[in-house]
Structure formats: structure tokens, C-alpha cells
Amino acid sequence: MKKIAVITMARNDEFFLNKWITYYGGQFGEENLYIYLDGEDQPVPARAQRANVIHVRRIAEQVVKAEKRRLEFLSKRAAELLNDYDLIIGTDADEFLAVDPNCGKSLAEYLSRKKITSSLSALGIDVGQNTNCEPQLTENQLFLQQRTYAFLSPRYTKPSIIAKPLRWGSGFHRIKGHNFRIDKNMYLFHFGCVDYQMIMQRLNDKDRMATGREKHIRKRFRTINYISKEKKIRTGDRWLKIARIFQTVFRPVYALNKPSMARWRLVVKLPERFKKINI
């Protein structure tokens, strides 16, 4: 088995960090998780246990500058960790990398059998609340047992997995100077839009608002609106395959090493088997 570490950096995000630790700790062992807390005022997540939690001195900056600095920092940490690990997975606290249950393999088993020379992406699944039929999220059930719909957003088809020192762009959205390859059996679930009330709570966070994150957070309502107002929700695995091909072929003109859906808003009903994924 390959030795794999997972890294993230967060601030004021204990809800998702606890979920992140439980999930990735179950996949790779908590001792292989590296959580960088943005600010010495940040509490250690309740479920941290054996995870490596490192406080980083807080530099209050506007969102664009802060995000660039955050990913430069994480890219350097990943490069250092590659002295001891075969692969590094980098995600935000609300992002969860998973293998299709049809494969019958854990994430660790699947990645250990993959030949990865530089980086690997999973298909981005932006899970959102359908306000027509889905109630507020509860903590005592898995996310994918409470949410059934998603927007197939190229923003979350990220090169999260690296096998050598590379430089992630802001938000892990690309690898600078490198192309990307989307794995046919892997998905990156983004849960930042999973609950309307949760987004509202973030808008009331004065710390986030002080660094210019209001516009960034309000964008999350778009996924909920797309899902809730879409009249033609696609069903079936063929749409996941089509999205994967589409994102491989189409690129935005301003960043040819990023995937694109060329303004196609593809909303899908997630396959029933995804409810088995322990997130």
C-alpha cells in the first residue's frame, strides 16, 4: 500500500473539519492528516485525536491575496511531506474525495493501485440542497443520505492528488504549468452548498466578512438555485461520463489547464449507490 497524507488549511470551519478528520482519518489513519489552522486563536477540532494540527500565524488579507498565499503555503508543505509519503491529497475542509462504490475498493486501496506520475483529478460534484424537497441538514445522518442532487461544476474537478512537488493554484483549482487528468472512478464531493441555513450563518461571520468573502460565499446560493429551479434534472451514470469527457475537452480561454463545462449547467440526481459513501 502507498503511504498517503491529506492536508488542508482552514479558519472558523470546525464543523467541516471534524467531518474531514473522521472521513480521511478512516481512509488513511489520523496520523497521516495535516491540518493547518489559520490563526493561533483557532481551537483544535474536537475530533482531531492523532491528527497533526499546526497553528499558523494569522495574516488578515482580502480573499484573493489570502487564497494565493494559502495555496503557496500548502504547496510547500506538500513538497516537504513528499519526502515521507508517496502521494499527497490536498482539499478544502468541505471537500471529500471518494471512489465509486462499484469499484469495491477503499480510497487507499484504489490510489495504491494507480500509477500517478504527477497529479490526478476527480470529477467535481457540487452537492446542493433542493429546497423543494430537502429539509435542513442534520448532523446524525450522512450527507449523501440527506442530499440527492448536484451541479456538475468544473470548479471542483480539482487536481487534488499529487505524486511530486507541484504548485497548486488558488483553491486547488489547477496545477501551475501542468495539464490535468480526470480519473474515471473518482469523485470530489463539495459540500459548501449543502445547506441554505449554513450559508446564511457564514454570511453572519464578521471575521469572514472583514476579509471580503461576502461575494465568494453568496455564490454558493447559485448551486442551490440551479438545483431547486432546474426543470430537467438528469439521471443515470451516462451523464457523469459525459461531464467527464466534456470537461476534458473544453477549457476556459483564460486558463487552458482548467476544466470547463462551457456554460452548460448540468444538474443530476446522484446514483443511489452514492448513499453508501461514508461522508
Give the span between the Cα atoms of 221 and 125, in whole angstroms: 15
pLDDT over 90 at 209, yes or no:
no
| CB-facing half-sphere around the CA of 107: CA atoms within 13 A | 26
N-term to C-term CA, the chain: 23
Give the list of residues 6+ apart from residue 204 with CB closer than 8 angstroms, or none. none
Secondary structure string (H, E, C) spanning 226-238: HHHHCCCCECCCH
Q: In angstroms, rounded to a whole number, what is the distance separating the alpha carbons of residues 211 and 60?
A: 7
* Domain carrying residue 26: 4-276
Specify the pLDDT at position 264.
Answer: 94
Residue that wins the pLDDT comparison between 204 and 107:
107
pLDDT reported for residue 127: 98
Written as one string, the DSSP assignment of 236-272 is: STHHHHHHHHHHHH---TT-TTS---TT---EEEPPG
Given a contact cutoff of 8 angstroms between Cβ atoms, the answer to whether 183 and 121 are in contact is yes
CA torsion angle for 166, 170, 171, 172 (degrees, to 10)? -20
Alpha helices by DSSP H, 148-257: 196-203, 206-210, 214-218, 220-229, 238-249
**pLDDT for 117 beyond 80:** yes
118-157: pLDDT as tens digits: 999 999 999 999 999 999 999 889 999 999 999 999 999 9
pLDDT at 276: 92
- Determine the residue type at 167: R
Which pLDDT score is estimated for 197?
Answer: 96
At 58 the pLDDT is: 85
pLDDT of residue 60: 76
CB 89 within 8 A of CB 6: yes
Q: What is the CA radius of gyration of the chain?
A: 18
pLDDT, position 210: 82
Q: pLDDT band for position 205 (50/70/90)?
A: confident
Residue 245: phi and psi, rounded to 5, are -65, -45
Q: What is the pLDDT at residue 215?
A: 87
pLDDT of residue 39: 92
* Range list of β-strands (E), the chain: 4-10, 33-38, 52-56, 87-90, 95-99, 119-128, 149-151, 161-162, 182-193, 267-269
Mean pLDDT of 168-193: 95
**218-268 pLDDT, tens digit each:** 999 999 999 999 999 999 999 999 999 999 999 987 788 899 999 899 999
- pTM for the model stands at 0.96
Mean pLDDT of the 199-226 span? 89
Number of domains in the chain: 1
For 38-73, write each residue's pLDDT tens digit.
Answer: 999 999 999 999 999 999 998 777 778 889 999 999
With pLDDT > 90 as the criterion, what percentage of the chain qualifies? 86
Q: What is the CATH number of the domain that holds 173?
A: 3.90.550
What whole-number percentage of the chain has pLDDT above 70? 100
| Helix, strand, coil distribution of the chain in percent, nearest 5 | 35, 20, 40
Note the pLDDT of residue 139. 85
